[in-house]
Structures are given as structure tokens and as C-alpha cells.
Copies of this chain bind each other. A is one copy, B any other.
Amino acid sequence: MPNLRRYRIDPDRAFSLSSIDPGAKPFAEGSKDEQIALLDTLAQELDELQNLLHAENRRKLLLVLQGMDTSGKDGTIRWVFSRTSPLGVRVSAFKAPSEDERARDYLWRCHAVVPRTGEIMVWNRSHYEDVLVPVVEGWIDEDETARRYAQINDFERLLTETGTVVVKCMLHISKDEQRERLQARIDEPGKQWKFALGDIDARKKWDDYQRAYERLLPATSTAHAPWHVIPADSKRHRNLMVARLLVQTLKGMKFVTPAGDPALKGLVIE
């Protein structure tokens, strides 16, 4: 199996998204049916590992999903967590901030939904939107952007030092793939509700967004909370790679089920 390490972003080293082919499928070997079966196996493994995380009741896992429109954040969640219980996996989706949210610092709404002990929390978009849209739109300057990178790194260090394992994935699609997916949303009546005219405006700034990602990825890929770039033109590949990364991460947490309580030995319920 290929090495996930190759897709992990090195801290503070200049990075170009063009160095990773969005159409690559290193983690999708075998036939279509084999890939589907493998994903189901990984999804079940994730369920078992989530149970151990819950039984241990000491640490938490945060999965951050970022990517351009149509890059497959929703689909990733649907398929990677197709075998886990909603008891143990929660999702928070971040949209444009509300008035109430804008009245606080940009990490406030994120802090409010960090995972609980024993839980997997998935952020569908995240605090990283605050170093994407404002950068592309020119609302914040270089100094402020750098300050935010540092604030984000500090925030994530707090999370990891207090028992949260942070996994960050950038779903990397090509501009051609996005065109096809947006067009499908327009042409298929059953998909039109997913389409927003604003998606076209963001697409016009494709290159600016790619550049913003190229800057934020190495600036916020730390030893405690590294970024992985996921080639995502192939949906099956994207799902398999994210599932692999999560399974590997959770296995690395080496769960120990709590020892039996000696007080319970021989206890008989009447």
C-alpha cells in the first residue's frame, strides 16, 4: 500500500498544489467492486475503533474537511462514516458566519463544537475558511493573515494538549472536475437544490483560492496537527484515502479498554 506520508504537508516548506495530481488514485487499487468492498471493510473498522475511543472515554478525534465547492466534503462524510453510529460521530457544518458569530472572534464558533471525550467530530469546513475567503477577497492583509495562522496553530495545540487528535484533510480536485460536477447539478433536476449561484463567483476566483490554500497548508501543518492533501477527482479514491488515514490514526492511539472494576466482581443483580 502506498504511504500516506507522501501526502502530508511539511511545516513551513513552500508547497504547490500542482505537485499533487488531483486525478491520482494511489489508495484505490483493484476493481470497482473490490474498492467498494474495501471501503465497507474500512468503515466497519472505523466503527470498531470508535467504540474503543468511546469505551476508553479519555481522548477525542477531530476531522477537519476543507476543499473547493463540489470537492466532496458531504460525500466523504456519508461514505467514510457509513458504518459508524450517530451516537459516536457528529458533524458540524460551517457556513458564512451569522451576525452573532461575527460579533465574536472567528474561533469562537469552532471552540463551541469541539468533540467531547470519546467522540469523533467532523468539521465540514472550519476555521480555515477565515484564512481563505478574507484572503481572496482582500479583507485582511499579510500581517493579519500571518497572525491568524499563528492563532490557529495555538488553538489546535490547545486541543491536542487536552486530548484531541486532529486530522486535517484538504480534498483536492481539478478545475475541470469542478466544472463537470457543477454542470451536473444544473442539468439534473434532482440535484438543482444543491446548486447556488454564488458557486460560480467562487469558481471565477479558482486560482486565488488555490494560492490561498498553498499558503495556509504549510503555515498550519504542524507536528501536532498536520494537513493531508487528498487527490479527490475520483470519489472512491477520496473515500478510501480518508478512511485509511482515519483508521491508521485511530490505530495509532492504541486504545486500552478500561480494566474491570474489582468492586463488581461476583456482584449478582436481583
Contact = CB atoms under 8 A, between A and B. Distances in A.
A269 B81 contact: no
Interface string A89-107: 1110100000000000000
Contact of A87 (B91, B179, B260, B267): B91
A90 B86 contact: yes
A55 B193 contact: yes
Contacts of A260: 189, 192
B82 A78 contact: no
A257 B193 contact: yes
Contacts of A55: 190, 193
A141 interface: no
How many protomers of this protein does the assembly include? Answer: 2
B86 A84 contact: yes
B268 A183 contact: yes
Nearest to A195: B264
**Size bracket of the A interface:** 35 or more
Contacts of A192: 258, 260-261, 264
Contact of A124 (B57, B84, B87, B90): B87
A33 interface: no
Given A186-B267, A186-B269, A193 B258 contact: yes
Interface in A182-206: 182-183, 186, 189-190, 192-193, 195, 197, 200, 203
Contacts of A270: 179
Given A87-B124, A90-B86, A90-B90, A200 B77 contact: no
A190 B258 CA distance: 8
A41 interface: no
Contacts of A132: none
Contact of A190 (B86, B89, B257): B257
A159 interface: no
A200 B269 contact: yes
Nearest to A194: B55
A199 to B, nearest CB: 9
Interface of A: 55, 57, 74, 77-78, 81-87, 89-91, 93, 122, 124, 179, 182-183, 186, 189-190, 192-193, 195, 197, 200, 203, 257-258, 260-261, 263-264, 267-270
- CB-CB nearest 5 A-B residue pairs: A78-B85, A182-B269, A189-B260, A86-B89, A192-B260
7 contacts: A77-B87, A84-B86, A87-B93, A182-B269, A193-B257, A200-B269, A203-B269
